[in-house]
Structure 1
């Protein structure tokens, strides 16, 4: 279900992910990005069947509930469930096309990704069409390269890159902004492994999410 947010000049910002589970490595850099760019709201888009990754251990409703718990007291975040109701793989371009129709052609729209996703973006379905629908806001990730694989990809990045946050509001799509967000060495894979080994994860994700994981018996 869409959160129904409509822009009045502000950027409609989206952050997709498997969120298996959601953790501070998701939440804190994105909150810092909001401060840096001036985002009023970030809509989280939990994936149903991610086409480029192993299938999630928690089911769709469990992952949705963890996202809701992690953001329930933070007005910066809202949640859009639409991808969880699909029975086909969650291709980002399909969601962006749908959201662009809902938001209209003039609304500045941005999709938030990590540096790891930027480095592999050319493997995404119809990746070259992404900027026809949105800007890309890129959060740094600890341990990942800062250069793309080929000179051609670097030229593509340079052609669309902006360092002017105001430009993101002045046009609806087409720009890439590399943010100066904190580099947090936290991963869902590590959290799942720590749970499997019965190790403490309290400093890696919100307490209510940790409690839900324990109640549901996840990642054992």
Structure 2
């Protein structure tokens, strides 16, 4: 069995389609959250997710956009300096799209090829799990002690596999959309699991269309630093 693991797509259908062009033979697709916000194509990403029967947990941006859609300007859950992308995404989504985001769970578990997996978007802000004690505490508190040996995380946009013991590990597939500012790589990051074997991947894609949209939105400096628009200038 081949499983595609993606995360932090952030309304970037071009990156998602580039990933799928490489991994279209996958049997299942899982996403570790943040399908929307900080990108121009939220509806296309959600349509893709539904068309490919993708299973996903809810990311913080998925929750923020949903709450602001429902609550309007009174829902001050997004900082003023970060609202341009959220408002842009909200203008393109409808009730069915928001209902899809709202029903995404905080956690998921599944088994494949003899391994037990668990997904959730965030561990602890931008920190990493560095010890077995942290792993066990997190498993007990977030997953009610569910049994699994492979944990899939997102949020940090930093691709990694970290072994805590011979058979216990966590994986971050990285962001399918954009890097942090201290990482000059401009590719889309993701992971695959093929017959139980974990692999990290990256694929190049054309940023120009995305950059043109970002320019039209007149993003402030704070919003630009979060997305692929700063990288596209290179």
Question: Which interval holds the TM-score relative to the shorter structure?
Answer: 0.3 to 0.5
Choose between structure 1 and 2 for higher RCO, CA contacts under 8 A separated by at least 6 residues. Answer: 1
